[in-house]
Structure 1
Amino acid sequence: MIMMLLEITGYSVEFIKDPFGILTGRRYEFLIDIDLDEEDELYSSNGVYIRAVFSEEEGGGRLIKHELIERVTDKLLEFGLEEDEEQELLAFCKEHYKEADEYK
């Protein structure tokens, strides 16, 4: 059984259009709601979500960037994910990017 480090409670994914064709790969923006324990340093009573940009390229995909944001205020948090949490986020994006509107 795989232990989930990130408790994902909801998400959305959107294809990012590149009208000029200057970006490599196809980019997707994820907004991912996460549930945090009150003891976690990232915890906020306002809630926290992750904004992640994922690039799907031939031969795989990668995270371009990710940010932790306080839900109510949209304030960027000064913390980042740990390496194992980043790997879990990458796996989540690889699994769900095809749910973007371009595939529907």
Structure 2
Amino acid sequence: MLTITEYQVEHIKDPFRILTGKRYEFKLDVEVPEDDELYSENGLYVRAIYSVQEEGGSLVKYDLYEKTTDQYLDFDLEDDEVQQIEAFCREHAGEAEE
């Protein structure tokens, strides 16, 4: 299971109104147990795009990166971890400056 230790959230501006609703970009610093296949001594972060529309919000995309090198990691999170990130984004999307 992931532990989110720090985060940043930013509203993605859409001056041409191409996208419906609002989009938010999250950078989530996460810790994972040493016995997890995602574990890295250099640390990890998740870059997530969260969409809010009239019918609700949803996680559009996420990517995993090694913290010190910014190297993309080609791993998928487990369903419960994706749900955890989506719930976190839903809870904190309103904190972004627009």
Q: TM-score range by the shorter chain?
A: over 0.9
2:15 to 19, 35, 51: 19
- Percent of aligned positions that are identical: 57
1:41 lines up with 2:51 in the alignment: no
- TM-score relative to the length of structure 2: 0.96
Count of matched residue pairs: 98
Q: Spell out, residue by residue over 1:49-94, the C-alpha distance to the aligned partner (whole angstroms, 9 max, x if none).
A: 0000000000210111000100011111011111111111111100
Shift of 1:6: 2.0
1:60 lines up with 2:56 in the alignment: yes
CA RMSD of aligned residues (A): 0.8
Q: Spell out, residue by residue over 1:20-65, the C-alpha distance to the aligned partner (whole angstroms, 9 max, x if none).
A: 1000110000000001111110011110000000000002101110
The whole-number CA distance in structure 1 between the counterparts of 2:57 and 2:2 is 20
The whole-number CA distance in structure 1 between the counterparts of 2:32 and 2:84 is 15
Amino acid at match of 1:71: K
Displaced runs of 4 or more, over 3 A: none
Query: For structure 2, which runs of at least 5 residues remain unmatched after alignment?
Result: none
The 3-state SS of whatever aligns with 1:80 is coil
The whole-number CA distance in structure 1 between the counterparts of 2:56 and 2:7 is 21
The whole-number CA distance in structure 2 between the counterparts of 1:9 and 1:41 is 19
- TM-score relative to the length of structure 1: 0.91
Query: For structure 1, which runs of at least 5 residues remain unmatched after alignment?
Result: none
1:101 lines up with 2:97 in the alignment: yes
